[in-house]
Structure 1
Amino acid sequence: MWKLVQSGLSVVAGTAEPEYGPESIHPVCSDLSKDEPLYSPLSPKDLEYQVPSHTCVETQTFYFNDDLYSGFAQVIHSNLVGLHTTAQFTFKIFKKSKPDAYVWTSTKLENFTVAGANFYADNLSVEVDDALRVYRIKSSVNPASIVDLTFELIGESVKFGKDGTTYYGTDLANPWGSMRHIFWPRCKVSGTLQLGGNEQFEQDITLNSGLGMYVMALQGMKPHHAAAAWNFLNYQSENYSVVVMEFTTPKSYNTTTVSVGIVTDKNGKTLLGSVDITTKHLKTYTDPVSGWNVPGEAEFTLRGKDLEVQVSGALTNLSERVDVMNELPQFVKNIASGVAGTKPYIFQFSNELDFKLVKDGKVEHSETGYGYTETTFISDVIKPSN
């Protein structure tokens, strides 16, 4: 997520937006009638890049983990006001037992092109099969992270609402911004990784029985205007997968929290799709570097008609504190932090978390599984005065 935030901040125009009021934000699913489903499987068109002509960032992110390792591979496709497009491939991997020792690469892509749901560049391809159930990611753009991974969808894909999108603007027919997410919440992951020159762990890694999650995102406006904070959960175990994607808008858009969450069983069947989600930061402490109030524990609760799922636990293992502004030119930093009031940091955690499934008020299943979580702070979350 951090590159998506960073890419937009590099084109900050300056002043913060005015307060548009609650009519300026249209959360995903808010326009559904009683007869329309809250969520549905993806169509072939849903998997395609949207490629809008205005300023935006689109990403394909593939999260993976097995008994030893966790990480992600990501393509970032950025468009600056329709005049200039760039693309980047980022990759991160670490041992679950020591998440703060990681291999990280970020490489600019050359001669890139979008072809429906596929993405190509020199020495890189991200392709889905004809059945739209298997993605293969092949990259040799950086000798420190040569990637050949296959993600096979287990069970069902998911989008919320009509198109997975939250819209910004006082006229829903002509929105001036958007935020879109679509998901493969549970995947089988296999493949090889060559990590030449790293001193953290093995240079050649084979994944045979990994689990994964795929999310495609589109942020169709500047990130500090779209969101003041984010929470993200990717929980994977032998029996269940849980994904939560949540953001809270700045005061300009009524400090609105938008959440979507998915729970699947081991076969990828969707047990719960929810927009009624509570994320709690517990045992918070002031981070000495960023100054943000960071959670020492987290609790995600997803609610349905007769089902409730909770994933919670201590965030003991911090993989990385990402200073999003770190790579930006100094003059952009001054504009973004001084004028727009932004101070973006992303905290990436890797921990064992507790899972609990409650049906009709009774605990039906509880277990412990692996949770990768991110907490992102961009600007202060200020509640509206009304």
Structure 2
Amino acid sequence: MRRVRTATTTTRRSLVPRPPDSSAEPTGTYPLEPPATMSWFGSSAPAGPNIHPVQTTFSDPNNLYGPLTKEDLSWNCGGGINTETQVWYATMPDGALVMAQIIHSSIGLLWPNIQVTFRYCNPKTQKNVWKSVTVTNFKVAPSDKLDKRSCKSDQITVTVDPSAPNKYTIEAKYDDDVQISLVYEQLCQGFKLGPGPRGGLTYFGQLSQKPTPAGDAPAYAAGGDGYCVHRFWPRCAVSGIMRVGGDVVDLAGSRGVFIHAIQGLRPNLLAAKWNFANFQTVGKEGQDAVSLIMMEFTTTPQYGSKVVNVGCVVVGDELVAVTAGGSGVVGGSTATHLDPVKDAETGYLAPSAIKYNWEGTRLGPDGKPADEKNAKVQAVLVEDLVTDKATYQTKGLVEKVDVLGQIPYLIRKVVNYAAGTKPYIYTWLNPVTASITLGSEGETKTIDVDGYIFNEASFISE
């Protein structure tokens, strides 16, 4: 939710409950009625449509941009079965990648488990550092002060100054070897797919008859079984330093993305597959300052095996398109696995290459469709991966994660029983070239830009 991512790398460590602690305090704010009503092992069959993808809720191609409200960026800390993540990625000028993530997981009546994770991967130096630390004394700022966007704990503090709501300051100590002090400043509009309280939300189960929340509060409870949502800051200026071992690394000039994601449903029931792409150009100006972001999941057969795809195109540090794809949509945004081959290690058909495509209406600075003829945007990126099909060796492989191998035995047995398979996450970091076509009036312009893609392909079940 890596996802949330979001949803992908996030869920592999989000299923571990924290044992009750008499000295610990509940974290966050819990709704009176949890959004997810399914039991741990399943639910009764619904009488009507049991999946409502966000791209069919917002089917007007000229109304895909949803501005983010204060409530969209606030911590929800939901109860029931709920996994919420906030994740900050940074692509450095030398192509290295940094990730900082907070995962808030609830499992039924157990105390929530909160973890912070860290990733530093530098292909040039072959350095690959991963940290995952359980958080203690986690607290979210009161909503009357900072809209529940700031949080603090013994391991990490995230601060949003009310006078600068477009900036996150992150201070974290994972252990004696890894510490970060980073600032993420928004360079273009953030977004969700579709405006209003239901913007960004895919609902599972029959739609509730409950009234839509007043004001800007997200309609989390509208899905009878649960929901999934992603919100994005697709282009950020990143600065600050991190210490990894004896090295102090300056992140000045880096570019990043911030994603707030929530899975209000047990992860292995929500999705069978995930695709995530984060392409950034670094050290470039004008129209070469590009970000391409995509988040896609395929629901389980229980929910119709529907594809949900949300993406965006940033050119010149401006959000020029929000895209929607998947089931019920022609065009939009797609992630296509090319020439898949069986990976003997995992048993899955893994891609030899992945093609990402974005198509959408060109937006103006206000997020509304540009008042021009032929105001369209298309971006295409193909990442070649395989170097040896027989053994499925791939370029830029950061990690191939056996998800069940990362969680304790008891939880692993429960998940394996429910999912009936072994979830794996493939993670890559590679230099690539993206081609972007901008249409306006009678003119069409195509630009090719070099950058770096950090991407994931997750297989949860067949």
**TM-score by shorter chain over 0.5:** yes
Alpha-carbon distance between aligned partners in 2 of 1:288 and 1:55, rounded to the nearest angstrom? 33
**Local SS of the residue matching 1:42:** coil
User: Are the structure 2 counterparts of residues 32 and 70 from structure 1 closer, same or farther at C-alpha, using a change threshold of 3 Å?
Assistant: closer
Q: Which residue of 1 aligns with 2:350?
A: 294
User: Are the structure 2 counterparts of residues 345 and 180 from structure 1 closer, same or farther at C-alpha, using a change threshold of 3 Å?
Assistant: same
Shift of 1:112: 0.7
Residue-by-residue CA offset, 1:41-78 (whole Å, 9 max, x unaligned): 21222110112232211111000011222120001111
Alpha-carbon distance between aligned partners in 2 of 1:82 and 1:178, rounded to the nearest angstrom? 19
Alpha-carbon distance between aligned partners in 1 of 2:342 and 2:59, rounded to the nearest angstrom? 43
Matched, 1:326 2:405: yes
Alpha-carbon distance between aligned partners in 1 of 2:41 and 2:80, rounded to the nearest angstrom? 19
Alpha-carbon distance between aligned partners in 1 of 2:227 and 2:125, rounded to the nearest angstrom? 37
Contact 1:8 1:56 in 2 (8 A): no
Contact 2:430 2:452 in 1 (8 A): yes
Shift of 1:33: 7.6
Contact 1:188 1:211 in 2 (8 A): yes
Residue-by-residue CA offset, 1:174-221 (whole Å, 9 max, x unaligned): 422111111100000111111126xxxxx2111110000000111111
Q: Which residue of 2 aligns with 1:178?
A: 227
Quick one: which amino acid aligns to residue 79 of structure 1? S
User: For residues 151-300 of structure 1, what are the structure 2 equivalents within 5 Å?
Assistant: 151-161=184-194, 162=196, 163-173=199-209, 174-175=222-223, 176-196=225-245, 203-237=247-281, 238=284, 239-267=289-317, 269-275=318-324, 276-300=332-356
Q: Which residue of 1 aligns with 2:456?
A: 374
Say which of 321, 326, 337 aligns to 2:416: 337
**Local SS of the residue matching 1:4:** helix
Quick one: which amino acid aligns to residue 378 of structure 2? E
TM-score by length of 1: 0.90
Contact 1:21 1:253 in 2 (8 A): no
**Local SS of the residue matching 2:57:** coil
Q: Which residue of 1 aligns with 2:100?
A: 73
Q: Which residue of 2 aligns with 1:200?
A: none
Q: Which residue of 1 aligns with 2:381?
A: 311
Shift of 1:142: 1.5
Higher strand share: 1
**Local SS of the residue matching 1:30:** helix
Quick one: which amino acid aligns to residue 364 of structure 1? T
Quick one: which amino acid aligns to residue 166 of structure 1? T
Shift of 1:263: 0.5
User: Are the structure 2 counterparts of residues 36 and 119 from structure 1 closer, same or farther at C-alpha, using a change threshold of 3 Å?
Assistant: farther
Contact 2:14 2:113 in 1 (8 A): no
**Local SS of the residue matching 1:45:** helix
Contact 1:107 1:141 in 2 (8 A): yes
Quick one: which amino acid aligns to residue 182 of structure 2? L
Residue-by-residue CA offset, 1:316-363 (whole Å, 9 max, x unaligned): 211100111113233443443344323211100001122112245955
**Local SS of the residue matching 1:23:** coil
**Local SS of the residue matching 2:412:** helix
Q: Which residue of 1 aligns with 2:139?
A: 113
**Local SS of the residue matching 1:183:** strand
**Local SS of the residue matching 1:320:** strand
Alpha-carbon distance between aligned partners in 1 of 2:48 and 2:380, rounded to the nearest angstrom? 29
Alpha-carbon distance between aligned partners in 1 of 2:109 and 2:192, rounded to the nearest angstrom? 27
**Local SS of the residue matching 1:148:** strand
Q: Which residue of 2 aligns with 1:55?
A: 81
Q: Which residue of 2 aligns with 1:348?
A: 427
Contact 2:16 2:113 in 1 (8 A): no
Shift of 1:17: 5.9
Alpha-carbon distance between aligned partners in 2 of 1:46 and 1:286, rounded to the nearest angstrom? 40
Alpha-carbon distance between aligned partners in 2 of 1:359 and 1:324, rounded to the nearest angstrom? 40
Contact 1:26 1:172 in 2 (8 A): no
Contact 2:81 2:265 in 1 (8 A): yes
Shift of 1:273: 0.5
Contact 2:271 2:460 in 1 (8 A): yes
Rg bigger for which structure? Answer: 2
Shift of 1:36: 8.2
Contact 2:380 2:434 in 1 (8 A): yes
Shift of 1:39: 1.5
User: Are the structure 2 counterparts of residues 75 and 178 from structure 1 closer, same or farther at C-alpha, using a change threshold of 3 Å?
Assistant: same
- Size of the aligned set, in residue pairs, is 373
**Local SS of the residue matching 1:110:** coil
User: Are the structure 2 counterparts of residues 378 and 123 from structure 1 closer, same or farther at C-alpha, using a change threshold of 3 Å?
Assistant: closer
Say which of 66, 87, 101 aligns to 2:114: 87
Between the two proteins, what is the percent identity of the paired residues? 30
User: Are the structure 2 counterparts of residues 51 and 330 from structure 1 closer, same or farther at C-alpha, using a change threshold of 3 Å?
Assistant: closer
**Local SS of the residue matching 1:46:** helix
Q: Which residue of 1 aligns with 2:366?
A: none
Q: Which residue of 2 aligns with 1:142?
A: 175
Quick one: which amino acid aligns to residue 87 of structure 1? I
**Local SS of the residue matching 2:112:** strand
Contact 2:58 2:193 in 1 (8 A): no
User: Are the structure 2 counterparts of residues 136 and 166 from structure 1 closer, same or farther at C-alpha, using a change threshold of 3 Å?
Assistant: same
Contact 1:158 1:182 in 2 (8 A): yes
Alpha-carbon distance between aligned partners in 1 of 2:58 and 2:306, rounded to the nearest angstrom? 18
**Local SS of the residue matching 1:217:** strand
Alpha-carbon distance between aligned partners in 2 of 1:321 and 1:359, rounded to the nearest angstrom? 36
Shift of 1:287: 1.9
Alpha-carbon distance between aligned partners in 2 of 1:367 and 1:350, rounded to the nearest angstrom? 17
**Local SS of the residue matching 2:420:** coil
Alpha-carbon distance between aligned partners in 2 of 1:366 and 1:22, rounded to the nearest angstrom? 46
Residue-by-residue CA offset, 1:283-308 (whole Å, 9 max, x unaligned): 32222221111112111111124322
Alpha-carbon distance between aligned partners in 2 of 1:219 and 1:106, rounded to the nearest angstrom? 20
Q: Which range moved further: 350-359 or 13-22?
A: 13-22
